[in-house]
Structure 1
Amino acid sequence: MDETPATERALHLASWEDRFWAWLIDVLIVGAALSGLGEAVGTLSLVTGDLSFSPSFLGVNGLGIWLYWTALEGYNGQSAGKLVMNIAVTDERGDPIDYPTAALESFGKAFLLPLDALIGWIAMEGEYVRLFNRLSSTIVVEAPKEDEPAGVTYVPPE
C-alpha cells in the first residue's frame, strides 16, 4: 500500500479589517441594487394604485444579501467585496466550498451579524472565525495569486 504524505500548505487568515471592508463593499452593492429595484416597485405601485407591493419589499434586504453571498461564495469563494480585498471563503483545509456550505456560512452575516461576530470574537478568540464560520467549517483566507505562473517574478518599472 503506497501512502503518499499529505503536502502541507500555509493558509493566511484574512484580517478582521479586510473582512469588514469586503462586507461593506458587498452591502453597498446589494443595497444599491435592491434600492433601485425597490424604486421600480414603488413606481409601479403608484402607477397601478396598488400599494401592497411596497411594504412587502422592505424585508428583502437580508434575503437579498444572503442569496448574493450564497451564490457568489458558493461558486468561487469570493463575493465582489472579497474579490476587491483579495480574500476568499474556503473550507478549513483551504479547499473550495459548495453552495449548501456557503448558504450556512452566509446566514449568520446576513441575518445575525452582530451576534455572529461577537460570539466568534469572544468564544473563539484568535481564530478569526465567526460563529457561522465554525458551524459551516469555513475560514476566510487571503486569496492565492493564481494568475502568476510558477517560477516567474514580475518586476515593476523603476
Structure 2
Amino acid sequence: MADTPRTLHIASWDDRFLAWLIDVILVGAILAGLGEVANVFSLLTGSLSITTPFAGMNGVGLFVYWTALEGYQGQSTGKLVMNIAVTDERGDPIDYATAAIESFGKAFLLPLDLIIGWLAYEEEGLRLFNKLSSTIVVETDENADSQPRDVEYVYPSDR
C-alpha cells in the first residue's frame, strides 16, 4: 500500500514579509530597551560614553532570536502570528544548526539573500539561504496541533 503524499502549502511572500516585520520590530524594541537601560546605567555610574554596548547589535540579535525559536519550534513570533513555519523540505522540524544556516541570510545578508533567491529559485519560493539549508516556509494549520485527529469538539455556540 503506497503512502499518501504529504501536501505542503508554501507560504506567500506577503506572509513571510509580515512575519519578518513583526520579528524585526519586536527584536528592535527589545534591543532599544536594553540600550536605554545601558545608557541610564552609564549615566548613574558617571561614565561619559554616549554609545551603548548594543549599538549595531540588531543583526546579531535577530540571528540569535531566529536560530533559537526556529530551531526549537520552527516558528518565530512573527511566523506564529502569520501561521507559517520553517521546516525541512519534507515538512519535518528543523534543528538548531539548520536554523542557524537559514537565519544567517535574513539576519546579515537579506538583500542579497532575497535577490538571488528570487532570480534563481522563483518558482520554488526560496531565499538563497533556504536553499543552502534545505528549508522551506510553509503555511501551518492553526488547529492541527490543538485537537486530536480522532476527536470532534462541539462548542456551545455550535448547538
**Both structures adopt the same fold (TM-score exceeding 0.5):** yes
Question: TM-score scaled to structure 1, two decimals?
Answer: 0.89
Secondary structure in 1 matching 2:123:
coil
For residue 57 of structure 1, give the secondary structure of its aligned residue in structure 2.
coil
1:10-56 Cα offsets, whole Å, 9 max, x none, are: 11000000000000000111011000000001111222232458254
Choose which of 29, 44, 58 in structure 1 pairs with 2:41.
Answer: 44
Whole-angstrom CA distance in 1 between matches of 2:49 and 2:59? 20
Q: Please, which moves more after superposition, 77-86 or 53-62? A: 53-62
Say whether the 8 Å CA contact 1:41–1:53 is kept in structure 2.
no
Q: Note if 1:54 corresponds to 2:75.
A: no
Q: Which residue type is aligned with residue 17 of structure 1?
A: D
Spell out the pairing of 1:116-131 with structure 2 (5 A cutoff). 116-131=113-128
Report if the CA contact (8 A) 2:86-2:94 is conserved: yes
Q: Structure 2: any 5+ residue segments left out of the alignment? A: none
Q: 1:122 to 1:97 in 2, by over 3 A?
A: same
Q: Distance in 2 between matches of 1:29 and 1:42?
A: 20
Partner Cα separation in structure 1 for residue 154 and residue 16 of structure 2: 29
Q: What is the RMSD computed on CA atoms of the aligned residues?
A: 2.0
Q: Name the residue aligned to 1:146.
A: 145
In structure 2, the partner of 1:85 is 82
Confirm or deny that 1:76 pairs with 2:82.
Answer: no
User: TM-score of the superposition, structure 2-length normalised?
Assistant: 0.88
Q: Is the 8 A contact 1:108 1:131 kept in 2?
A: yes
C-alpha distance 119-150 of structure 1, shift in aligned 2 (>3 A): same
Q: Percent identity?
A: 66
Residues of 1 paired with 2:33 and 2:67: CA distance? 21
How many residue pairs match? The answer is: 155
Letter in 1 for 2:148: P
Residues in 2 aligned to 1:138 and 1:51: alpha-carbon distance in whole angstroms: 46
Confirm or deny: 8 A CA contact 2:70 2:86 kept in the other structure.
yes
Q: 1:13 to 1:39 in 2, by over 3 A?
A: same
Deviates further, 92-101 or 41-50: 41-50
Structure 1, unmatched stretches of 5+, are: none
